[in-house]
Amino acid sequence: MKHASIISITVCLFFISTFCVAGSLQPTAAPGSTMKTLDQIEPRIPIPASTTAASVFTITASGSYYLQGNRLCSYNGIAVEANNVTIDLCGYSLIGSAAVSYHGIAITGQSNVEIRNGTICNFGDGIYESYTTGTGHRVIDVRAVANMRTGIYLVGYGHQIKGCTSIENGFSPMGSGVYGIYAGNCSIVSGNIVRNNGKSASVTVYSVLGGDYSTISGNTITDNGNFSSGTVYGIIVNSGCTVIGNTVSNNGRSSNGGYTYGIFFWEGNSFADQNTAYDNNGTNMNRPASCTFGTNHTP
């Protein structure tokens, strides 16, 4: 029995050594680097924060840019001079010097510029594109607050303004009018809050203006042009537009000398449905014969 046990142990050790042979301890190659470059960690281009009045930050190359903190500005905040640019404000603010001729973000006829996620305040105009060659801009989740003339102003065509807040702009206007949101031809203006722009203004107040063939939908437009002496428009559109699901109320309250339209169709061939326009100090909605109207609440 003793010899049988020794034989059994020997056999077991043989099988264990056979199936548990260690591999080579010599590495086949040097380990790869685990370090990442700065471009891999943050591939975007920073726009520095500033607690003192900084000069304009000019963008001359396509790419993605981000604001690193609140930035006080002595002139224009950011000048965009390139196509295919994205600016992420990262929840921070561009803050102007309360000069009516300055712009928070100035675009000069470029295409495909996106601005998102932050606040632009205390400039003449919050976001400003005045060139008819400007195309395809997107402004998303931006707050344009207390600018002296205009919140968001995009001439050109094919823009999108979505989920923005334009409030208390136009307290010291110059020129032909105050604009909460201006969008050129073939644009989409959706889900925005436009409130208390053009208070006590002596010029025309355009709370939301859409160019030809634009879609204006799901916006809340209230208390614009109150105590003003000029004409007040809640929504005004040119020809071939679609105006759906907007709420337009209490615009032009206590205005003196001007006239108020909740929703105004400047030209024909537009379609309006599911809008609510009430308590505007004038006409809640005009109804040109060449337009088509669904179910709207416009007492």
In the chain, the domains with their CATH numbers are 64-293 (2.160.20.10)
* Pair 241, 209: CB distance under 8 Å: no
At 40 the pLDDT is: 56
- Give the pLDDT confidence of 85-142 residue by residue, as tens digits: 999 999 999 999 988 899 999 999 999 999 999 999 999 999 999 999 999 999 999 9
- Give the pLDDT confidence of 146-173 residue by residue, as tens digits: 999 999 999 999 999 999 999 999 987 8
What token pair was written down for 57?
A: 């930050």
Residue keyed to tokens 């905040």: 77
| Single-letter amino acid code for the residue at 108 | T
CA distance 218 to 201: 26
pTM of the full predicted structure? 0.86
| Single-letter amino acid code for the residue at 179 | Y
Phi, psi of 179 (to 5 degrees): -130, 120
CA distance 29 to 35: 18
Q: Which of 49, 129, 128 is nearest to 90 (CA)?
A: 49
Sign of CA dihedral 208, 224, 163, 151: positive
